[in-house]
Amino acid sequence: MAANLLDFDLEGLAAYCDSLGEKRYRAVQLYRWIHQKGESDFERMSNLARSLRSKLAGVAEVRGLPLLSEQRSADGTVKWLFDVGAGNAVEAVYIPEDDRGTLCVSSQAGCAVGCRFCSTGHQGFSRNLSTGEIVGQLWFAEHRLRQGGTERVIDNVVMMGMGEPLQNYAALVPALRTMLDDHAYGLSRRRVTVSTSGMVTMIDRLREDCPVALAVSLHAPDDALRDQLVPLNRKDGIEALLDACLRYLEAAPRDFVTFEYCMLDGVNDAPEQAARLVQLVQGRVPCKFNLIPFNPFPASGLKRSSRERVQAFAAVLQEAGIVTTVRKTRGEDIAAACGQLAGEVQDRTRVEQRLARRREVIAVVAAAAPGGLS
């Protein structure tokens, strides 16, 4: 099968060109054509030697992701559904704002973490995306939105789409390097964010290999609750996670970590829980909190916190001097808001079967209990 040049960061592409007997500057030229100009036809890459174009035509291609659908929200948000083969599809979302254009990128088909409040995790996991499939979302979106223009449209990328990015580390890092490279998209490290549910060892690796902005899905002030909401917490716990965040800031482009906190009615949104968060992080990890309105889906069994409860929760954090924002829900009318991305996956983790068995056990226990269970 022909090599997909979207799979290579610049060093990888230089090595590939070297294997064809070509010098590094040819890789730079090729890289610019692909990423800066969005070109996939080697014959149109006019400053490449004809001999190189002929070589590439026989062994390589620029293979983007087949588009299955495009949806546009009333607020300007755009969601694309891409085919990644074998019955799997992933979603990417573009969010236009006054001062920037943000692309939310997926890293996996589905997600194996299974956070209780996330519809992506509820559908299970199929596979990791390749580097080319991760970069391909940005490659498509940037040049689709330019519509023949030359001005950059996307200047902010968040790895907050489908999947846990740090569980797909080998493909993630070359993709990040392509996003950052001045010969490709030239994004600032401050404008590329990796969001993780809290993989401590991998946070340390990212710090060494490619430190960008870091967002951590916290969602609870203590291990007992976080174990229920974010199953990964059972491995390391909040204390180890906060230590990893502090180590990460030694190399990070920003001087704070963003803690994401999905507001769940009656679960994690009490003022007392906000006060425990203050005790947890104050004087320990420079941070800001991003409070996220929960986007309900039927299988979650959860409800969105009221605006009043969110504001009261935020006030506790703000009065303690912690920068706190409430994320504006965007693209909700096209199911493009945070936690709603679902795509389509062939579930290797059999989530529905496991949930069905769990419901059966609960029903049996309830029936056997004296007087039943409420």
**Interacting residues of 271 by C-beta distance below 8 A, sequence separation 6+:** 312, 313, 316
Q: How many Å apart are CA 44 and CA 34, to the nearest integer?
A: 11
In a domain, 369, yes or no: no
**Interacting residues of 230 by C-beta distance below 8 A, sequence separation 6+:** 113, 115, 116, 197, 198, 217, 219, 220
Told to judge if 91 belongs to the known catalytic residues of this protein, a careful annotator would answer yes
User: Is the entire prediction scored with pTM above 0.75?
Assistant: yes
Query: In the chain, which residues have pLDDT < 50?
Result: 372-374
Regarding whether 151 and 17 lie in a shared domain, the answer is: no
Q: How many Å apart are CA 331 and CA 224, to the nearest integer?
A: 33
Question: For residue 125, what are the β-bridge partners?
Answer: 110
What's the confidence (pLDDT) of residue 327? 84
Regarding whether 48 and 106 lie in a shared domain, the answer is: no
Q: How many Å apart are CA 274 and CA 289, to the nearest integer?
A: 11
**Interacting residues of 281 by C-beta distance below 8 A, sequence separation 6+:** 242, 259, 287, 322
CB 159 within 8 A of CB 172: yes
What's the confidence (pLDDT) of residue 328? 79
Over the stretch 190-215, which tens digit does the pLDDT of each residue have?
999 999 999 999 999 999 999 999 99
Regarding whether 171 and 45 lie in a shared domain, the answer is: no
Regarding whether 86 and 8 lie in a shared domain, the answer is: no
Residue 12 domain boundaries:
3-61
**Interacting residues of 116 by C-beta distance below 8 A, sequence separation 6+:** 228, 229, 230, 300, 302
Told to judge if 338 belongs to the known catalytic residues of this protein, a careful annotator would answer yes
Regarding whether 314 and 349 lie in a shared domain, the answer is: yes
Regarding whether 115 and 25 lie in a shared domain, the answer is: no
What's the confidence (pLDDT) of residue 296? 84
Enter the tokens of residue 250.
């030694």
Regarding whether 110 and 200 lie in a shared domain, the answer is: yes
Q: How many Å apart are CA 38 and CA 56, to the nearest integer?
A: 17
Total tally of structural domains belonging to the chain? 2
Regarding whether 92 and 25 lie in a shared domain, the answer is: no
Of the residues 17, 22, 91, 115, only one is catalytic, namely: 91
Of the residues 17, 210, 262, 338, only one is catalytic, namely: 338
What's the confidence (pLDDT) of residue 204? 98
**DSSP tag of 4:** E
Q: How many Å apart are CA 3 and CA 63, to the nearest integer?
A: 9
In a domain, 159, yes or no: yes
Sign of the dihedral defined by the CA atoms of residues 179, 180, 182, 185, in that order: positive
What's the confidence (pLDDT) of residue 188? 98
